[in-house]
């Protein structure tokens, strides 16, 4: 077989052209070009973030590094005020190594979740706790007369929330740790911003958001606004360096929170997927080597807007029959002939056929969609979480209701290719705590720090 069967190899010029084409999308190759020392620093930090109080020796064993190397890296992280050696009491039985913990005293990340009617902001410490929060309504006047949400109004709202939260954070640190602000790095490690839609994480541009009606495409008419360079605009009003701001999809934020602070199997190296189920939407996030896979321009895993039924229910995105239009609240209510999910659940519990059919049908759509996802990604685990998870019957958490959950699992196993996925690896996890969306946005900063996209 001739070596040039597929044509000649690239010329240097062609290689250059390919690189510039990829750069044009905003795509940057993975940051692994950095030295081993930096990568190890990230790994040690991620271990301290995700594991509860490991000792230096524990970290060395988990990461297959020498204790001396880990000690030096921990010292470096201490100087950056990211971690500290816990003062912790000496254990009653003999001497035990002191745990290394995240330093939650001064350094914090800010998270903002934008939706059509409000912006929610939180300040999160590096232990994953939302210590301050604030909500600002966008109000009806935020809608332009063309129906999309006014970009300037959103940016102003974020500026006001940022100023207020930052001032409150500094006040809090001064009260609790009077000397902490005199020296050391900026208490604000970074800003995470999340919203539903297609966001180019590399450039920080919101290319398309059905909620805000940003980013008109062929499917929309004049009632949509243009795409928005949100990261640049947030930089302008907060003064925070662009390289410390992450703008990303809301599902990615929730998934990062699960991965880092939700017992999310950070050390389970096999790729896994987190699916966010809300009353109106389905989002998904895939982790490869503990890093969120974002695709060429940030649209990857847009599961909710894949086609489930040609000519099905209209979807927020302008298309018809998308998975989220067929498998969430409105689809359930249309078939159940109910006014609310609570009512539909009650009807189904009472044995009402139509309500049971509504949940079963919608659950079957989601399960079928998940079977495609499992086949495409060969994912090791599917974790479903989000506001549509409930425990109404007092037992294990379910998606929407028990009929929905069962139908979803059955359709997934029925349609998956070949061996499929172990049913035990399809987990439904209840969200705990409030402010989850904004906290997820704050978690994106930490995720990007430990994967080398933001500086430590």
Is the CB of 189 or the CB of 317 nearer to Zn ion?
317
Q: Please identify, using beta-carbon distances, which residue of 327 and 364 lies nearer to Zn ion.
A: 327
CB of 256 or CB of 323, closer to Zn ion: 323
Q: Facing residues of 428 across strands?
A: 384
Helix (H, G, I), strand (E, B) or coil at 162: helix
Please state the closest distance from residue 315 (CB atom) to Zn ion, in A: 3
Q: Does 319 bind Zn ion (CB under 5 A)?
A: yes
Q: How far is CA 229 from the centre of its chain?
A: 20
What's the gap between Cα 196 and its chain centre?
10
Which helix (H) or strand (E) segment is 275 a member of? strand 272-277
What is the C-alpha to C-alpha distance for residues 146 and 445, in angstroms, rounded to an integer?
34
Residues 365-384 close enough to bind Zn ion by CB under 5 A? none
Between 190 and 210, CB nearer to Zn ion: 210
Q: Which two tokens stand for residue 277?
A: 């189920």
Most distant pair of Cα atoms in the chain: their distance: 75
Stretch that binds Zn ion, among 11-19, 29-37, 105-113, 301-309 (CB under 5 A): 301-309
Q: Determine which residue in the list 125, 278, 305, 368 makes contact with Zn ion, applying CB under 5 A.
A: 305
180 in Cβ contact with 188 (< 8 Å): no
For 3-94, strand residue ranges (E) read: 83-85
Q: For residue 161, what are its two tokens? A: 């929330």
Judged by CB under 5 A, the stretch of 151-159, 320-328, 363-371, 423-431 that binds Zn ion is: 320-328
Residue nearer to Zn ion on the CB measure, 256 or 308: 308
Interface with Zn ion by CB under 5 A: which range of 79-87, 247-255, 298-306, 442-450?
A: 298-306
* # of chain residues touching Zn ion (CB under 5 A): 5
Asked if 315 is part of the footprint of Zn ion (rule: CB under 5 A), the reply reads yes
CB of 219 to Zn ion, least distance (A): 9
Extract the tokens encoding 376: 């495409």
Please give the Cα distance from 243 to 263 (Å, whole number): 28
Residue range at the interface with Zn ion (CB under 5 A); choices 151-159, 314-322, 352-360, 380-388 = 314-322
317 is an interface residue for Zn ion by CB under 5 A: yes
DSSP-based three-state secondary structure for 307: strand
Q: Which is nearer to Zn ion, 319 or 349 (CB)?
A: 319
Judged by CB under 5 A, the stretch of 60-68, 82-90, 106-114, 300-308 that binds Zn ion is 300-308
Chosen residue from 322, 348, 355, 454 binding Zn ion by CB under 5 A: 322
Would you say the C-alpha torsion 149, 152, 158, 164 has a positive or negative sign? negative
Q: Please give the structure tokens belonging to residue 92.
A: 């009653």
Contacts with Zn ion, residue ranges (CB under 5 A): 305, 315, 317, 319, 322
């Amino acid at each position: 077989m001739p070596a040039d069967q597929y044509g000649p190899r690239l010329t240097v010029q062609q290689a250059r052209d390919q690189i510039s084409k990829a750069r044009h999308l905003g795509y940057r190759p993975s940051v692994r070009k950095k030295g081993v020392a930096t990568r190890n620093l990230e790994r040690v930090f991620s271990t301290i973030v995700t594991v509860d109080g490991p000792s230096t020796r524990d970290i060395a064993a988990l990461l297959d590094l020498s204790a001396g190397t880990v000690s030096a890296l921990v010292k470096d992280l201490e100087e950056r005020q990211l971690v500290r050696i816990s003062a912790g009491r000496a254990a009653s039985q003999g001497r035990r190594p002191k745990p290394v913990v995240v330093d939650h005293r001064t350094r914090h990340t800010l998270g903002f979740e934008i939706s059509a009617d409000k912006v929610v902001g939180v300040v999160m410490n590096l232990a994953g706790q939302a210590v301050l929060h604030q909500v600002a309504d966008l109000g009806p006047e935020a809608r332009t007369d063309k129906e999309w949400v006014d970009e300037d109004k959103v940016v102003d709202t974020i500026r006001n929330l940022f100023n207020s939260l930052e001032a409150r954070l500094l006040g809090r640190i001064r009260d609790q740790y009077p000397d902490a602000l005199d020296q050391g790095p900026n208490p604000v490690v970074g800003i995470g911003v999340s919203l539903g839609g297609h966001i180019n994480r590399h450039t920080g541009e919101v290319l398309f958001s059905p909620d805000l009606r940003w980013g008109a495409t062929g499917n929309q008419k004049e009632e949509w606004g243009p795409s928005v360079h949100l990261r640049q605009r947030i930089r302008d009003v907060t003064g925070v360096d662009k390289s410390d701001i992450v703008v990303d999809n809301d599902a990615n934020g929730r998934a990062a929170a699960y991965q880092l602070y939700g017992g999310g199997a950070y050390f389970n190296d096999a790729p896994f997927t987190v699916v966010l189920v809300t009353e109106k939407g389905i989002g998904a996030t895939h982790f490869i080597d503990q890093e969120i896979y974002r695709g060429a321009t940030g649209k990857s895993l847009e599961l909710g807007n894949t086609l489930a039924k040609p000519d099905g229910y209209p979807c927020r995105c302008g298309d018809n029959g998308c998975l989220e239009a067929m498998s969430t609240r409105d689809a359930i209510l249309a078939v159940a002939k109910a006014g609310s999910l609570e009512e539909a659940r009650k009807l189904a519990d009472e044995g009402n056929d139509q309500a049971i059919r509504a949940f079963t049908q919608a659950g079957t759509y989601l399960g079928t969609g998940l079977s495609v996802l499992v086949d495409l990604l060969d994912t090791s685990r599917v974790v479903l979480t989000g506001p549509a998870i409930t425990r109404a019957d007092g037992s294990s958490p379910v998606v929407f209701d028990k009929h929905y959950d069962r139908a979803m699992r059955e359709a997934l196993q029925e349609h998956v290719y070949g061996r499929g996925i172990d049913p035990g690896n399809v987990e439904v996890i209840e969200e705990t705590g409030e402010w989850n969306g904004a906290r997820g946005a704050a978690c994106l900063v930490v995720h990007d720090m430990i994967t080398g996209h933001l500086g430590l």
